């Protein structure tokens, strides 16, 4: 068992949230002050990212100093400037000679369809997330990058449900820890991968008195397979994307960190249907912070499960807001 069931169970990582609870948007920072070997998997059709090219194995820079997950669509990438300023003040970054340049890859999700779309995470919010960063288990649900997150948008926002941000971790033996943090803003439905039942997703239009049951869900795959689904895609929400990070205290090089991220993204396949649509910009960062030795095949066998658990925690801890019901009171 890990201490907190949190990505912060992995050494040398701090997590900080900042959000605007009125505008319903926010950002989350993963600080790696000692640096971490980084990789990335980008499998969605509509990504919004920053500094992901340098994570390729054949690129010069070896370590990242933070990862930013943000709402606000492409506007939210501005929050990375605040993370860079915070790290520069701490003299943390890639040493170029005359200057220190913090390496801060970032990914965004689209949450402009809920709350106030004129307010987005900016450099000040990114800086505040760094000030809030700690080794404690980060808050789950409507916090940070998950503040305006939602799922199940085949019928648009009127049929969606509230989601959020979640974290998880697992001790896989030999002192090796895997941890994940995920902001869940999927086009599709979210399933419990153990029994394949939908727990959050597109809703049927039913009387408010109807009790919670799987019959209240439209089932996005069923809709897509129908004549209605073929026509409704014109109106389906394009306000989506699952973004997150998977981390370990195992020693990885950049090639292995990229493979680690790629395998972790299978956690989206386990829990989300459909996964990796053209309406989603699904992006997963991989981080290695330690020196534990383990076969990469073992690490990658558990990575999808840890990532999937974080996705479920994001949905289960969400609170109803912005006219969208959450699992807790659906």
What pLDDT, in 10s, does the model give residues 190-244?
A: 999 999 999 999 998 654 555 544 568 888 888 888 756 566 665 555 677 899 9
CA 74 to CA 14: how far, in whole Å?
Answer: 24
pLDDT at position 141 is 98
Confidence at residue 137, expressed as pLDDT on a 0 to 100 scale = 96
CB-based contact 269:196 (threshold 8 Å): no
Residue 19, pLDDT score:
98
Distance between CA atoms of residues 223 and 226, nearest Å = 5
Buried b (16+ CB within 10 A) or exposed e, 260-275: bbbbbbbbbbbbbbbb
Contact 124, 20 (CB under 8 A): no
According to CATH, what is the number of the domain 7-329? 3.60.70.12
Which of 149-158, 167-176, 235-244: highest mean pLDDT? Answer: 167-176
- 3-class secondary structure, 262: helix
Going by C-beta distance under 8 Å and a sequence separation of 6 or more, which residues neighbour residue 159?
A: 152, 153, 202, 203, 205, 218
Eight-class DSSP state of 170? E
| Mean pLDDT, the chain, integer | 91
Dump pLDDT digits (tens) for 30-83: 999 999 999 999 988 888 899 999 999 999 999 999 999 999 999 999 999 999
pLDDT of residue 246: 98
φ, ψ of residue 82 in degrees (nearest 5): -70, -35
Domain ranges, ordered by start, for the chain: 7-329
Coil, strand or helix: which one is 33?
strand
């Amino acid at each position: 068992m890990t201490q907190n069931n949190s990505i912060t169970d992995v050494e040398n990582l701090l997590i900080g949230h900042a959000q605007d609870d009125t505008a319903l948007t926010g950002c989350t920072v993963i600080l790696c002050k000692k640096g971490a070997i980084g990789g990335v998997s980008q499998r969605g059709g509509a990504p919004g990212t920053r500094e992901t090219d340098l994570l390729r194995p054949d690129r010069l820079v070896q370590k990242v100093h933070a990862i930013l997950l943000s709402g606000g669509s492409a506007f939210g990438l501005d929050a990375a400037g605040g993370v860079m300023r915070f790290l520069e003040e701490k003299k943390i970054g890639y040493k170029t000679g005359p200057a220190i340049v913090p390496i801060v890859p970032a990914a965004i999700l689209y949450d402009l369809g809920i709350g106030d779309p004129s307010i987005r995470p900016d450099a000040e919010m990114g800086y505040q997330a760094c000030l809030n960063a700690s080794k404690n288990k980060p808050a789950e649900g409507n916090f940070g990058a998950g503040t305006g997150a939602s799922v199940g948008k085949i019928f648009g926002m009127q049929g969606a449900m509230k989601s959020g941000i979640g974290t998880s971790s697992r001790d896989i033996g030999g002192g090796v820890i895997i941890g994940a943090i995920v902001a869940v803003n999927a086009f599709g439905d979210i399933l419990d991968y153990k029994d394949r039942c939908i727990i959050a997703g597109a809703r049927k239009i039913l009387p408010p008195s109807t009790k919670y049951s799987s019959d209240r869900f439209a089932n996005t795959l069923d809709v897509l397979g129908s004549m209605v689904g073929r026509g409704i895609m014109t109106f389906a929400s394009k306000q989506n994307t699952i973004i997150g990070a998977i981390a370990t205290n195992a020693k990885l090089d950049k090639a292995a960190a990229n493979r680690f991220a790629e395998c972790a993204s299978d956690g989206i396949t386990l829990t989300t249907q459909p996964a990796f649509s053209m309406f989603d910009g699904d992006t997963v960062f991989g981080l290695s912070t330690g020196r534990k030795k383990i076969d990469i095949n073992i690490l990658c066998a558990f990575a999808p499960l840890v990532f999937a658990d974080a996705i479920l925690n994001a949905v289960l801890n969400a609170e109803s807001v912005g006219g969208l019901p959450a699992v807790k009171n659906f």
